[in-house]
């Protein structure tokens, strides 16, 4: 789970996370909406807006799944939402459709909301103007969301579409990613510049400055990621795997495991097994050493473990670059599987060393 986020459940098996910044935006937007539509109207409008963002992100996830790409999680935060995919799209066509799915959903929601507003007004379905105004607001905000996301620069959806088009044109995925990122820096700089001009003229432009800077910084990160992935070409998961991971019962204490240090090997980790033989999680030597020596005999590895489902999983023959999108920066450990059996791990130190050598 990302720092500062909490889970609100799963939809179609995909974890949905909400960052604390959403609460700040809800208060900010809610106070303005309440002044126009009243408290109930504001709550309905905010709920509809968040549901719209979820629909946008789930559209990405649904189309990605059709192209063999799974979604690790969907997160809502201050500037919208993000669907975290477990790998790159397999082709330019898949990249383009996955990217386009979100704006298409937003356009559809906006069109339906505005059409419903006019339809209900025509038949005088309500005596109050508030429901119609809320529908109109949701329609306009979704149309604006679609248009904004179609701006041609990474990390926006329009940038992904641009990447797909350039990738299909010259056949170089990494070059296409850099081109989309360059466009993203230009888009972000332009938005931030417009916001700055507005501020200098005593007009509200702070949100544009923040948004523009975020886009520009994210675009630079995309450039670095593309360069790193290109330099990792040809490196397979198998090349960094430590085979023969140590196993231990889940109720083993930290003192006993450290006493049997040689079992951990250079990987410095142990896989914990439940009484029925199922794998429960992974514990690293560093985690055990963090327990005060006087308490290690009383601390079971179950209390220290990271559950297996929260650790990055890879197949033996995968390209290392394909694993990076689903790597958890807080737990840069990769478990390696074959025929649904754990056969090894990529130790954190080995992975970080390989990434450092690939960095420019």
Query: 267-322, pLDDT tens digit by residue?
Result: 889 999 999 989 999 999 989 999 999 999 999 999 999 999 888 999 988 999 88
| pLDDT tier at 256, thresholds 50, 70, 90 | very high
Distance CA 48, CA 57 (A): 14
| pLDDT tier at 8, thresholds 50, 70, 90 | confident
Order of strands, sheet of 14-19, starting from the edge strand that comes earlier in the sequence: 5-11, 14-19, 71-77, 80-85
Distance CA 139, CA 236 (A): 47
Confidence (pLDDT) at 102: 97
For residue 92, which of 200, 165, 201, 19 has the smallest C-alpha distance? 165
Query: 214-253, pLDDT tens digit by residue?
Result: 999 999 999 998 998 999 988 999 999 999 888 999 999 9
Q: Examine the pLDDT at 68 and tell me if it is beyond 60.
A: yes
Confidence (pLDDT) at 166: 97
Confidence (pLDDT) at 2: 61
Q: What is the mean pLDDT of residues 321-338?
A: 85
Q: Regarding predicted confidence, which is higher, 332 or 134?
A: 134
Q: What mean pLDDT value characterizes the chain?
A: 91
Residues 6+ apart with CB under 8 A from 27: none
Q: Examine the pLDDT at 4 and tell me if it is beyond 80.
A: no
Confidence (pLDDT) at 262: 82
Q: Examine the pLDDT at 79 and tell me if it is beyond 90.
A: no
Q: Examine the pLDDT at 45 and tell me if it is beyond 80.
A: yes
Confidence (pLDDT) at 57: 96
Confidence (pLDDT) at 89: 93
Please give the model's pTM, rounded to 2 decimal places. Answer: 0.84
Catalytically active residues are: 57
Q: Examine the pLDDT at 264 and tell me if it is beyond 70.
A: yes
Q: What is the mean pLDDT of residues 252-270?
A: 89
Q: How far is CA 37 from the centre of its chain?
A: 33
Cβ atoms of residues 342 and 313 within 8 Å: no
Query: 90-114, pLDDT tens digit by residue?
Result: 999 999 999 999 999 999 999 999 9
CB atoms within 10 A of CB 273: 16
Q: 3.30.479.30, 3.40.50.720, 3.10.580.10, 1.10.1660.10: which CATH number matches 237-358?
A: 3.10.580.10
Query: 29-38, pLDDT tens digit by residue?
Result: 888 888 888 8
Confidence (pLDDT) at 339: 82
Q: Examine the pLDDT at 62 and tell me if it is beyond 60.
A: yes
What are the sequence ranges of the domains in the chain? Answer: 5-231, 237-358
Output phi, psi for 19, to 5 deg: -80, 150
For residue 245, which of 259, 261, 264, 260 has the smallest C-alpha distance? 264
Confidence (pLDDT) at 35: 87
Residues 6+ apart with CB under 8 A from 296: 253, 254, 255, 258, 288
Cβ atoms of residues 159 and 183 within 8 Å: yes
For residue 235, which of 135, 320, 333 has the smallest C-alpha distance? 320
| pLDDT tier at 1, thresholds 50, 70, 90 | low
């Amino acid at each position: 789970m990302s720092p500062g986020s909490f889970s609100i459940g799963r939809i179609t098996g995909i974890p949905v996370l909400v960052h604390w910044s959403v609460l700040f935006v809800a208060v900010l937007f809610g106070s303005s909406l309440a002044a126009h539509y009243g408290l109930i109207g504001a709550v309905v409008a905010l709920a509809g807006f968040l549901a719209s963002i979820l629909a946008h992100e789930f559209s990405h996830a649904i189309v990605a799944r059709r192209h063999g790409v799974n979604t690790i999680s969907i997160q809502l935060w201050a500037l919208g939402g993000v669907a975290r995919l477990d790998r790159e799209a397999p082709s330019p066509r898949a990249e383009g459709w996955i990217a386009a799915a979100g704006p298409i959903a937003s356009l559809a929601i906006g069109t339906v909301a505005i059409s419903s507003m006019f339809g209900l007004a025509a038949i005088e379905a309500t005596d109050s103007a508030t429901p119609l105004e809320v529908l109109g607001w949701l329609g306009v905000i979704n149309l604006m969301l679609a248009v904004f996301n179609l701006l041609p620069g990474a990390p926006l959806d329009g940038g992904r579409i641009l990447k797909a088009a350039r990738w299909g044109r010259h056949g170089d995925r990494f070059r296409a990613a850099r081109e989309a990122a360059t466009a993203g820096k230009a888009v972000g700089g332009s938005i931030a510049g417009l916001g700055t001009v507005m501020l200098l003229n005593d007009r509200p432009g702070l949100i544009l400055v923040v948004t523009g800077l975020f886009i520009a910084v994210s675009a630079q990160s995309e450039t670095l990621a593309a360069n790193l992935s290109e330099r990792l070409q040809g490196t397979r998961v198998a090349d960094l795997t430590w085979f023969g991971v140590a196993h231990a019962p889940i109720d083993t204490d930290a003192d006993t495991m450290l006493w049997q240090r040689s079992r951990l090997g250079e990987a410095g980790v142990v896989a914990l097994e439940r009484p029925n033989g199922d794998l429960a999680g992974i514990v690293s030597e560093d985690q055990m050493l963090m327990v005060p020596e006087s308490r290690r005999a009383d601390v079971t590895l179950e209390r220290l473990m990271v559950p297996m489902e929260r650790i990055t999983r890879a197949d033996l023959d995968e390209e290392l670059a394909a694993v990076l999108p689903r790597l958890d920066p807080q737990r840069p450990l990769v478990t390696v599987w074959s025929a649904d059996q754990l056969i090894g791990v990529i130790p954190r130190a080995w992975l970080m060393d390989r990434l450092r050598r690939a960095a420019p």
